[in-house]
Amino acid sequence: MVITFISIFAIGIVAGVVGAILGLGGGIIIVPALTLGFGMPMRTAVAASTVCIIATSTGAAVAFLRDRLTNTRVAIWLEMGTSLGALTGALAAALVNQRVLFVLFGLLLAYSAYNMFRTRKEHARPEVVPDAISRKLRLGGSYYDKALGRRVEYQVTRTLPGLIIMYFSGAAAGLLGIGAGIFKVPAMDQVMGMPFKASSATSNFMIGVTAASGAVVYFARGDVKPLVAGPVVLGVLLGAILGARLMMRMPAGRIRLFFMPILAYTAIEMIYKGVKWW
Amino acid sequence: MVVGIDPEDKAAVHPIELVLARLLRLGSMVAAALLAVGIALMVFGHTGFAPRLITVGLLVLLGTPVMRVVAAAIIFVKERDWHFALFSLVVLCALAVGIYFGKGM
């Protein structure tokens, strides 16, 4: 038992570090590790992974908030989209064809992976001009980038398209059980013109809230097994604290480089899932 | 804390981040402590009590982001930032409805 605890705990640490750096929930590591590595049922793994999303978000957010990497105003604006989307997704889950959605969302991710690859040189970006909502709500921000050794000021644009994408990302999370951060980071980075590190930190901050409403369902159903979730969540918490510190010192370009293959992999996996069932 | 300069500067030293950071740190530390003690007890053979302690730790963690939205809403109301107070309220309502329906599933 002790060995199992320690190995689950270690998986948690890895998932926490990766999740905190990339602004994702870490489910991409935890779910396969628990099901394939430990032969646990899918429901147990997904329930544990949902609580882990909260752990990543909470653990990493402390450091990100202190360094102002998290844009709380953008986060709250976009959380309206994710939370309403998640609600719609959960309610509509019985009505829609999941296969079509997997393919659609997979294609969307593939497109954003391509787009991220195309615009991988951060400095080659055009100046971001804030739109009316962004100006009115003062969404622009600044943070001190430890990797660059200087303060980065930025503006936010296309706030409404961003909100709409968040709505669908929330719906995808509710319908397909994926997409904690994988849609949010590209939406802020590619659509709203935010710097990659601010996008990742803000995504990290937001995913905890979306996951909380899902986690309640898993708790109510009794899918959260304390002996599985306990060690992995503890590992994720510590990993996320560590990951947040690492991320603040990493150059944005390198984080992006890590993000792209994961994005591409998830896209392929989703399209495959959708096509396989036909 | 620097106050009373122009609105641009005020946004830059906005204390909301620090308040939320403190709240999230408290939540994650309490949760981590409960989980660690629970797992340790489990290893030493207290198989009856330990899982319950771990569950409490997980529930504390689960409550933390919800408390974070509540705290943000209170801060925005205090600062008369009505737009963001409203946005926080929308998020809270969606969460509440989601939890209400979710429990029934």
Instruction: Suggest the residue from A8, A234, A242, A248 to mutate for an interface test with chain B (most B CBs closer than 10 A).
Output: A234
The stretch A91-95 carries a mean pLDDT of: 74
Say whether B90 and A83 touch across the interface (CB within 8 A).
yes
pLDDT for A180:
66
Instruction: Answer whether residue A98 shows pLDDT above 90.
Output: no
Beta bridge partners of A143: A152
pLDDT for A105:
81
Instruction: Answer whether residue B35 shows pLDDT above 50.
Output: yes
pLDDT for A14:
94
The stretch A182-208 carries a mean pLDDT of: 92
pLDDT for B10:
44
B103 touches chain A (CB under 8 A): yes
Say whether A234 and B39 touch across the interface (CB within 8 A).
yes
pLDDT for A2:
85
pLDDT for B41:
93
Instruction: Answer whether residue B7 shows pLDDT above 50.
Output: no
Size of interface A-B (CB pairs under 8 A): 161
Higher pLDDT, A195 or A99: A195
Say whether A80 and B21 touch across the interface (CB within 8 A).
no
pLDDT for A119:
73
Which of these, A68, A121, A132, lies nearest to B11 by C-alpha position? A68
pLDDT for A115:
79
What residues make up the domain containing A9? 2-276
Query: Residue A269 — very low, low, confident or very high, per pLDDT cuts 50/70/90?
Result: confident
Instruction: Suggest the residue from B9, B14, B17 to mutate for an interface test with chain A (most A CBs closer than 10 A).
Output: B17
Beta bridge partners of A71: none
Instruction: Answer whether residue B5 shows pLDDT above 50.
Output: no
pLDDT for A154:
93
Instruction: Suggest the residue from B14, B23, B24 to mutate for an interface test with chain A (most A CBs closer than 10 A).
Output: B24
Instruction: Answer whether residue B8 shows pLDDT above 50.
Output: no
Question: What residues of chain A lie within 8 A of the CB of B32, using their CB?
Answer: 234, 237-238
Say whether B61 and A1 touch across the interface (CB within 8 A).
no
Least confident of A64-78, A157-171, B6-20: B6-20
CA B87 to chain centre: 17
Question: What residues of chain B lie within 8 A of the CB of A209, using their CB?
Answer: 65-66, 68-69, 91, 95
Instruction: Answer whether residue A218 shows pLDDT above 70.
Output: yes
- Closest CA–CA distance from residue B24 to any residue of chain A (Å): 6
pLDDT for A179:
59
- Closest CA–CA distance from residue B103 to any residue of chain A (Å): 6
B51 touches chain A (CB under 8 A): yes
Instruction: Answer whether residue A165 shows pLDDT above 80.
Output: yes
Question: What residues of chain B lie within 8 A of the CB of A5, using their CB?
Answer: 39, 42-43
Of A87, A209, A224, the CB nearest to B65: A209
- Closest CA–CA distance from residue B61 to any residue of chain A (Å): 7
Q: Which residue of A has its CA nearest to B38?
A: A230
Instruction: Answer whether residue B12 shows pLDDT above 70.
Output: no
Instruction: Answer whether residue B15 shows pLDDT above 50.
Output: yes
pLDDT for A258:
86
Say whether B55 and A216 touch across the interface (CB within 8 A).
no
pLDDT for A36:
86
The stretch B45-68 carries a mean pLDDT of: 93
Question: How many structural domains are present in chain A?
Answer: 1
Instruction: Answer whether residue A237 shows pLDDT above 90.
Output: yes
pLDDT for B105:
54
Residue-wise pLDDT for A117-142, tens only, equals: 877 765 556 778 898 899 999 999 99
Query: Residue A278 — very low, low, confident or very high, per pLDDT cuts 50/70/90?
Result: low
CA distance B38 to B41: 5
Question: What residues of chain A lie within 8 A of the CB of B90, using their CB?
Answer: 80, 83-84
Residue-wise pLDDT for A6-16, tens only, equals: 999 999 999 99
Higher pLDDT, B7 or A55: A55
Domain ranges of chain B: 7-104
Q: Which residues contact A57 (CB under 8 A, 6 or more apart)?
A: A25, A204, A205, A206, A207, A208, A209, A211, A240, B65
Instruction: Answer whether residue B13 shows pLDDT above 60.
Output: no
CA distances from A102 to A164, A207, A273, B45, B82 (A): 19, 20, 7, 44, 38
In a 10 Å sphere around its CB, with 0-12 CB exposed, 13-18 middle and 19+ buried, how is residue A213 labelled?
Answer: buried
Instruction: Suggest the residue from A49, A65, A153, A160 to mutate for an interface test with chain B (most B CBs closer than 10 A).
Output: A65
CA distance A164 to A231: 36
Q: Which residues contact A48 (CB under 8 A, 6 or more apart)?
A: A30, A34, A224, A225, A228, A229, A232, A233
